[in-house]
Amino acid sequence: MSQKITLVYIATSSEELYPAVFNLKAYALSRIKDRKIKIETKIIKPTKLKRINNHIYRDIPSRQINSISDSILKKNPVFVGLSTYVWNVDLIFKVIKKLKNKKPFLPIVIGGAEATYNARKILQKNKNIDIVALDEGEETFVDLIRHFLYKKIALTEIKGIAFKKNGRVIQTQMRKPLDLKQMPSPYLTNLIKINKGRETITVETSRGCPFKCAYCSYNMFSYAHLRFFPLSEVIKELIYIIKQKPKKINIVDDNFNIYDLRAKKILNSIIKCNKKILITLFIRADIWPIKKELARLLAKPYFYLTVGVQSLNKKTLFRAKRIHNINSLNQNIKLLRSLKANIILQFIIGLPGDTYKDIKDDINWAFSHQPNDIQIQTLRVNPGTLYEKEAKKYGITYRRKPPYTIFKTNTMSQSELKKSEKIAQLFQMLYRNNTYRKRLSYFCQKTNQPISVLLENLKELNQYNLFFLPKNMVIKIIDSQIRKIYEQPTSLRSGF
Ligand code: SF4
């Protein structure tokens, strides 16, 4: 009789397809050749789940938790593994509680970033969780199968886990980073079925990051070592995925262009077979000049380049341990825009060192480059980050639960943070609409004022929930407010 293991991933949107649990399965199948073992990958998509605050699951009706847990138990698994991260962890804990109510002796293992950096706390607080898999999970998953199904290895011998024994949390030795040559592609091994035109497919071409940004947790343990998937496999995988015609492809490496030659080879092979599938890439534009040849490839109309700027304040970036060169950044953005590349600029509100004025400077700078989109998010003090350790030093107070957003820092009071968030929200909302964007550009030119001053004076807009106002009403408000300013240019004042 076959023995089953169920791996669960709860997606943050019905379109997202993230390969984490498929990677575990692909790796385990390459290591354990036993046909009696069946690994079920269960992707739960939140079509009917309530989403608040851009992805956080709260107040999920118990009926739904019940049905999720029933579907997990349906195949009577020997153990269940759940992949956690900041956006799904609340829901995962509720599902686990239900699973344990129904089957008290079913072993529950959780993994992923949210579990790795909180392992001790989670095990101490949550009696329903048996094991936390730390860091990269592939090899650990193989050992857990050996433990639960073959009884061949004791928990204490499995590297990279934390578990409770006699009320004490035991953490075993961490593993060495996984050799990515040993990692089969879950796409090329047909473990993932791609629905034509419907999903955003996530692809890793490398793992880890050599940098140490203080707000980031993607650079710990194994992930402190930048490793690449074999180039030939990456190219094969991307060509295969493009042929399946997904809605979008998301290449998640934070430093895609760090090696110019490798990036060019990957881009050239995509360009040969892609006509119109949108592909998002994270590129570093703030370290050194991007060469023209690479920029030309990146400027193809279906690439969307996400550029993390975070802040323009040198001292802030220094504190954040963010390696940067503002001149290179300016030069690269200009070059990419001159080639008509699609660019998304990202900023963080509330980095220690930044003030409300810095946020306005960021907005003015971003607006001057006219990227395709601008994303501004409040700083989150994620578990495991340097800012978590140094929160006191920088006067950071923050929510102790996901999404870990800050309340204040030494340089930004609570009210300044609110003010910064308001102006950023207003800016993003207006910038994302072509009509409003043109309107603002026109008035900036006319009044010879930076965009932040105009935004500050759009007081009336600020009072409403922008997303619910009809477009013509927003335009009316913009026009009437700006006309007032234009008629009395000397009376421009901060309005927030
Ligand atoms: S923010 Fe990006 S560059 Fe910085 S450490 Fe994290 S992954 Fe690396």
**Tens digit of pLDDT for each residue in 346-356?**
999 999 999 99
Asked whether residue 38 falls in the same domain as residue 12, the answer is yes
Report how far ligand 1's centroid is from the alpha carbon of 253 (Å): 10
Does the pLDDT at position 493 exceed 70? no
- The answer to whether 92 and 84 have CB atoms below 8 angstroms apart is yes
* Out of 320-329, 396-405, 479-488, least confident range: 479-488
Does the pLDDT at position 51 exceed 80? no
Report how far ligand 1's centroid is from the alpha carbon of 207 (Å): 11
Rounded to an integer, what distance in angstroms lies between the CA atom of residue 398 and that of residue 400? Answer: 6
Please identify, among 409, 432, 455, the residue that sits at the C-terminal boundary of a domain. Answer: 432
Domain containing 381 equals 194-432
CATH number for the domain including 114? 3.40.50.2300
pLDDT of residue 332: 98
Asked whether residue 384 falls in the same domain as residue 476, the answer is no
Give the mutation target among 217, 218, 306 for probing the ligand 1 site: most ligand atoms within 8 A of CB.
Answer: 218
Asked whether residue 383 falls in the same domain as residue 443, the answer is no
Report how far ligand 1's centroid is from the alpha carbon of 310 (Å): 11
Does the pLDDT at position 236 exceed 90? yes
Q: Does 207 fall in a domain?
A: yes
Nearest CA to ligand 1 atom 3: 211
pLDDT of residue 254: 87
Q: Does 143 fall in a domain?
A: yes
Both structure tokens of 406: 């800050």
CATH number for the domain including 321? 3.20.20.70
Please identify, among 380, 400, 432, the residue that sits at the C-terminal boundary of a domain. Answer: 432
Beta strands in 20-76 (DSSP E): 37-44
**Residues lining ligand 1, Cβ inside 6 A:** 209, 211-213, 216, 218-219, 254
pLDDT of residue 485: 66
Report how far ligand 1's centroid is from the alpha carbon of 289 (Å): 18
Does the pLDDT at position 150 exceed 60? yes
Q: Does 186 fall in a domain?
A: no
Give the mutation target among 251, 252, 254 for probing the ligand 1 site: most ligand atoms within 8 A of CB.
Answer: 254
DSSP assignment of 404-443: -BEEE-SSS-HHHHHHHHHHHHHHHHHHTSHHHHHHHHHH
Asked whether residue 419 falls in the same domain as residue 438, the answer is no
- The answer to whether 173 and 221 have CB atoms below 8 angstroms apart is no
Taking the whole predicted model, whether its pTM rises above 0.85 is answered as yes
